Structure 1
Amino acid sequence: MRVFVAGGAGVLGRRLVPQLVARGHQVTATTTSTARLGLLEQMGAEAVVMDGLDAVSVGEAVAKARPEVIVHQMTAISVKRAGKADMKHMDRWFAGTNRLRTEGTDHLLAAAEATGVPHFVAQAYGAWNGIREGGWVKTEQDGLDPMTGTPAEPGMAALGHVENVVVKAGGAVLRYGWFYGPGAMDDLVGPVRKRQFPVVGSGAGYCSWIHLDDAASATVLAVEQQARGVFNIVDDEPAPANEWLPYLAACAGAKRPMRIPAWLARPLAGDVAVLMLTEGRGFSNAKAKAELGWQLRYPSWRQGFKEELA
């Protein structure tokens, strides 16, 4: 198929584009920077500069590519575009990404409608942000936590927008877990090695992880099968912070994380980090495995962390 990957030079796009090309698809991939055109071409894609927040730029790029499916992977959370990871001020850190998930999604959907693109696949997020009620592991039937009154509220609203408009348009929304793998480890491992990432309170909050290569393979299946609806793209083992964080530290050759009470962590790290580490809800991948026939190379973060940090 002719596949248009918006955000092809991003951390997931760099794993996705080669997988699509290897399976015989004709890929057009976009970037915001001319400096990355060569990277996309080396991966086998036709490379295009596109501004996802400019409706004209999006419309022209899609019309020229004439794709049979659009894959929306646009974010703006790289250090260059958003600064260092900052969960305490998540509204500022994710401001650009939130616009890409609202305005950018709308521009891509409008371009798809204008040019008759029959299928659409969009990136969303499902790691620790399941609704905080009931059990610790959520399915696609469960909503995302709106994080009302926290700096994550705008981001959760943006994710809700993606799910609403893409599903309504007959597309697929992929709730990826917390990425790890090539290009996605430094922001996580760096603070762990410096003992700046403690277990907060009980550390009972759950999180779901996904290796970038597994996220990419699930995306390829969603493209090829013209999947519709919401899918949790996570590994087989959602786990509490008091399990995955010490294990990650051990794999990274770091000292065991400190443990601090929630009242102390809140002014230092913010409400969102405390909620994630103490009350977060993970996600089940049963639907994606059953409906897409998805098989994971890294079924557990235990295997993946160990191999990535060996």
Structure 2
Amino acid sequence: MRIFVAGATGVIGRRLVPLLVAQGHEVTALSRRASALPGVETVTGDVYDAAGLREVVAAARPEVVMHQLTDLTARDFAANLRIRREGTRNLVDAALAAGVRRVISQSIAWAYEPGDGLATESTPLDVDAPDASRRGSVGAVAALEEMTAEAPEWVALRYGMLYGPDTWYTKGGAMADAAAAGQLPTGPDITSFLHVDDAAAAAVSALTWPSGPVNIVDNTPAAASDWVPSFAQSVGAPPPSAPPSPRTPWARGATNGHARTTLGWVPTHPTWQSGFYA
């Protein structure tokens, strides 16, 4: 299968591309900077250059386009919102113009509206959130998924909070620094985590999944009061000292029931409880 991967040098992309190559797929990798990836054709391009992007996608003649684009290296959340809106628009347009059959995009599992219990794929997104910052963030996620769904076949991978090598949640990462400074509060807010290797593996599996959004999270959503002390210990930080945070209504976690029972996806790291120490 011919696959075009946008974001091939990102945290997930660097793990995804070798998995695709190992399965015998013909991969074209998009990078903003000239760089060679083993076993694939690497093309240089800018997702904000709509015309140029159309040219490189058309030249690759892909059957599938994978959208793993983010812009969070400098924790620039505005840049990440822009790539979700403008970058996705240009990438999907290029895919449709090239006759691509399937688009698989990276989304998130914490954009759901407030409520009791874990969110499922049918839970509405929090597009009318009263907080302007969250409303803008969720709006960009909703736009990304709506554009992805313009393809004849599509999957929006609603990833949990990524942890593991090269993420914020690892030794030397941003959240490890926050834990060391005693700035990670405990409390009742629920997080659904996901090891970065499982994120890449799910993207490969999505090549054959039916169209729709899918929660890709581990089996154990947890309150900050449970996971923060464990994470701090795993990165060599002292026990948490920040006061507990009040309940955030939308921080409800998500369930992977659809991915596990319907699609047959099984995470290699089923829970953060062991995954933090892996």
TM-score (norm 2): 0.92
Question: 1:227-266, aligned counterparts within 5 Å?
Answer: 227-260=210-243, 262=245
Aligned to 1:8: 8
CA offsets 1:195-245 (integer angstroms, 9 cap, x no match): 12222xxx111010101111111110101x053100001000111111011
Match runs of 1:215-226 below 5 Å = 215-223=199-207, 225-226=208-209
| Correspondence list, 1:143-292, <5 A | 143-146=124-127, 147-169=129-151, 170-184=153-167, 185=170, 186-199=173-186, 203-223=187-207, 225-260=208-243, 262=245, 280-292=251-263
Extract unaligned runs of 5+ from structure 1.
Answer: 80-84, 86-92, 263-273
Greater share of residues in helix? 1
CA distance in 2 between counterparts of 1:259 and 1:189 reads 14
Paired amino acid for 1:218: A
Q: Percent identity?
A: 39
CA distance in 2, matches of 1:2, 1:291: 26
**Offset of residue 120 of structure 1:** 0.5
- The change in CA–CA distance for 1:118 and 1:209 in structure 2 (over 3 A counts) is same
1:33-182 superposed matches below 5 A:
33-34=33-34, 37-38=35-36, 41-42=37-38, 44-79=39-74, 85=75, 93-126=76-109, 128-135=110-117, 137-146=118-127, 147-169=129-151, 170-182=153-165
* Closer/same/farther in 2, CA of residues 275 and 161 from structure 1, 3 Å limit: farther
Distance in 1 between residues matched to 2:2 and 2:262, nearest whole Å? 23
Q: Post-superposition shift, 1:164?
A: 1.9
User: Which of 249, 265, 274 matches 1:294?
Assistant: 265
Aligned length: 272
Are the structure 2 counterparts of residues 215 and 261 from structure 1 closer, same or farther at C-alpha, using a change threshold of 3 Å? Answer: closer
Deviates more, 1:235-244 or 1:102-111: 102-111
Matched with 2:29 is 29
How far residue 261 of structure 1 moved from its aligned partner, in angstroms, is 5.4
Deviations 1:149-197 (A, max 9, x none): 2423221100011122222433110100111111002112121122122
CA drift at 1:294: 1.1
Using the alignment, how far apart are the partners of 2:160 and 2:98 within structure 1? 32
CA RMSD of aligned residues (A): 1.7
Alpha-carbon displacement from aligned partner over 1:118-157 (angstroms, at most 9, x marks no partner)? 111011011x44321222x110000222333242322110
* 5+ residue gaps, structure 2: none
The SS at the match of 1:259 is: coil
What is the deviation of 1:253?
2.0
Give the partner amino acid of 2:124.
G
Distance 1:195 1:261, change over 3 A: closer
Give runs of ≥4 in structure 1 deviating > 4 Å.
none
Q: Deviations over 1:71-125 (max 9, x none)?
A: 001111112xxxxx4xxxxxxx322221211121111221122111111101101
